[in-house]
Structure 1
Amino acid sequence: MSSSITYAGEALIARLQAEGTPLVIDKIIFADVQGLDPTQAVDRSQPLPQADVVFSYDIPPEFKAFVSPNMVVYSALLGSDVGDFDFNWQGLYCSEHDTLVAAAWLPTLSKRRTDQATGQAGNNLSRNFMLQFSGAADLTGITVEAATWQIDFTVRLKGIDERERLSNRDIYGRAAFPDDGWLLVNDAGNYSFQAGHGYVEGIRAALPALLPVVPPQLPCDVWLDVCMEPQGSDVVATATPVFVAPGADVPDYTEDAPFNTPHSCVQVASVAEDGTVTDLRPKTIALSAEQVGAVTQEQLAAALAAMDTTKSMRDMLGGSIVEWEAEAIPTLSDGLPLGLELNGDVVDLNMFPRLLRKWPGQEANSTCPAWYRCTSGGTRDPAGGYIRLQDRRGQFPRGWDHGRGVDSGRVLGSAQADDLKSHTHSVRVPAAGGSAAGGNVSGSYGIFVDSSATGGSETRPRNCATMYLIYV
């Protein structure tokens, strides 16, 4: 079925809006036009098919209503006293201006009148014609809101269902099973589908509880047949397992009339002769609007496998120094260690090129205590292919002064020997009498006790031993 405002109707609407004159549509006309194809778009240049008109219906004022400011609806109630005729065309007509405003092409319908003489039972038909254009309610002067019976919600509800299905299809692709839903399991010869959900052609097929099944034969392939099945006045998503011979195809199909329900079929498993179940359910991920498509977990895994994650990690962390509280340093997939102990070694830059991030530059290469480029023997050379690691064994780290004035004169990365802050001691000597002869002083000084030295070999705070590691 298709409908449209005619060119003549469009011109009339524009003229009346410009004039501020109301548009009065007073008739719905029914016709039986030979050779009309309702699947094609309405010919907007068509005139009123006078020769094919089978019935003209005068629209009562109460059968004119608005759905929105830009949409009005005109209704016709054809009782059992009207007929007999067939029609496949209906139009909205303005008698005042002798204009066919809009037309609709539809499959042939029959209207029969009750005939007491022959016992023929008539039928009742209600026909609604919706007209949409900017300012429709204002131009037609319609102020009554449409009643429920005047709006065909079937088309609108089907449209909502289809938009939802297509939205899911954009995200999940042809089929997606994000959890254990419809996973076939063989437990000691007892087969069952696991609870969960999946999407097939955008239809969400939910399985609220375990579903036991018995394969009719082994080996076999297992498919899922999913559709939106009519149930009363509603349609619900249903999924039915289908067991077929190995390799057999189960294509999508559409039921016969009257429902013409489309079915989508996807393979979810295969069962070997010994009962081994292979899960074949597609698994997808949600994507951004720019990436919508059917990307499976298998495809994502393959993409990740193709990435060199070790190189990416080294590029990100190379040159960073960390505390490492284990003697063993792991070897990564490229055959090189995660990092090197800072023990003052000379290491090859061809093997560990990211260590160049620590090099202070050509000017400082001749004076810096560590991180200078050199030969394999350790001789400083700003073009050398080796670098001297810092030796942090037995050292405490100290924040670089960097202009603060607490530890002035330090170069970043330099080492510092242990030291004590300069200080003095005072000794009180009591007054005494005596005489000096030959460099000797005699007198009374009290008692002095000489003790042996105590303490360790260095001055230090409490600490924990750790290894300093540089990522390479």
Structure 2
Amino acid sequence: RIDPIADKFHCDLYESRIYSEDKRFCLLIRNDGLAAGYNVNENKVMWYFQKDGALNAKISVSNIFDLENFIGDKTIPVGIPQPWPSNNLPSGWLECNGSAFDKNQFPKLAAAYSQGFLPDLRGEFIRGWDNFRGVDPERELLSWETDAIRNIYGEFKTAANPEYASGVFNTIPANTRHIRSSLDPNNATIVFNASSVVPVAHENRPRNIAFMYIVKAE
């Protein structure tokens, strides 16, 4: 109960409260139609609206500033990519498709992407920036990286002729070669084929679900 307001009214009151993250401010909505901004630390009402539209003071920067901070604490900052399950974008959001945007029209977005271009996240995964940890060194924020796997190495030692090499197997200097083998009388060809034991595709990827990445623009 917020006493400075409740004392003005005499009815069975029910209220809902939403607190700022630091618990300093509270937005209160009551069943008699009153909404108020309340400073918890100072135990005072900053502003309130009554159901008939009357209010206790003219709304200005000075007395609504804390409410703006409160709302800002509860919303997603401009510039953060978010997965979206549809190709119909919500109002105020843009697709992360590498396109340019108007820095004058979207100044908050420009603060996050100073070059005036959104990252192209179509078909891409996001990776945490290394920031001198040494796991993925020499990377800059928003830099793109190609796919890769760790090296797979295999070796056959044989003096058989004619020599044959393919794929992961290749000839090397001297008498040690990745070549056609003579391990049996038929001099069979050695083949490396990962698809016989694991799924293969044109890229390296984990299991995933496709979402559209969008970014809050304003």
TM-based fold match above 0.5: yes
The equivalent of 2:175 in structure 1 is: none
Q: Which has the higher contact order (CA 8 A, sep 6+)?
A: 2
1:328 to 1:169, Cα distance in 2 relative to 1, 3 A: closer
1:19-418 to 2 correspondences below 5 Å: 171-179=5-13, 289-291=43-45, 296-299=50-53, 317-331=77-91, 337=92, 339-359=93-113, 372=115, 387-418=116-147
Q: TM-score, normalised by structure 2?
A: 0.56
Say which SS state the counterpart of residue 470 (structure 1) adopts. strand
Contact 1:173 1:293 in 2 (8 A): no
The equivalent of 1:448 in structure 2 is: 188
Give me the whole-angstrom Cα distance separating, in 1, the residues matched to 2:126 and 2:5.
Answer: 53
Q: Deviations over 1:49-70 (max 9, x none)?
A: xxxxxxxxxxxxxxxxxxxxxx
Contact 1:342 1:468 in 2 (8 A): yes
Give me the whole-angstrom Cα distance separating, in 1, the residues matched to 2:46 and 2:206.
Answer: 60
Identity of aligned residues (%): 27
Contact 2:33 2:50 in 1 (8 A): yes
1:351 to 1:427, Cα distance in 2 relative to 1, 3 A: same
Give me the whole-angstrom Cα distance separating, in 2, the residues matched to 1:418 and 1:173.
Answer: 66
Shift of 1:352: 1.2
Match of 1:466 among 198, 211, 215: 211
Say which SS state the counterpart of residue 355 (structure 1) adopts. helix
Give me the whole-angstrom Cα distance separating, in 2, the residues matched to 1:302 and 1:175.
Answer: 15
What amino acid sits opposite 1:448 in the alignment?
A
Say which SS state the counterpart of residue 101 (structure 2) adopts. strand
Contact 2:121 2:213 in 1 (8 A): yes
Shift of 1:171: 4.4
Q: Deviations over 1:54-107 (max 9, x none)?
A: xxxxxxxxxxxxxxxxxxxxxxxxxxxxxxxxxxxxxxxxxxxxxxxxxxxxxx
Say which SS state the counterpart of residue 461 (structure 1) adopts. coil
Contact 1:344 1:389 in 2 (8 A): yes
Shift of 1:326: 2.2
Shift of 1:169: 8.9
More strand by share: 1
Contact 2:47 2:56 in 1 (8 A): no
Give me the whole-angstrom Cα distance separating, in 2, the residues matched to 1:321 and 1:292.
Answer: 34
Structure 2, unpaired ranges of 5+: 15-30, 161-180
1:412 to 1:178, Cα distance in 2 relative to 1, 3 A: same
Q: Deviations over 1:414-436 (max 9, x none)?
A: 0001112234211143x77xxxx
Higher CA-based Rg: 1
Contact 1:172 1:294 in 2 (8 A): no
Q: CA RMSD in A?
A: 4.5
What amino acid sits opposite 2:188 in the alignment?
F
Contact 2:49 2:55 in 1 (8 A): no
Contact 1:170 1:292 in 2 (8 A): no
Structure 1, unpaired ranges of 5+: 1-167, 181-280, 332-336, 360-370, 373-386, 433-442
1:323 to 1:170, Cα distance in 2 relative to 1, 3 A: closer
1:301 to 1:452, Cα distance in 2 relative to 1, 3 A: farther
Q: TM-score, normalised by structure 1?
A: 0.28
Contact 1:401 1:410 in 2 (8 A): yes
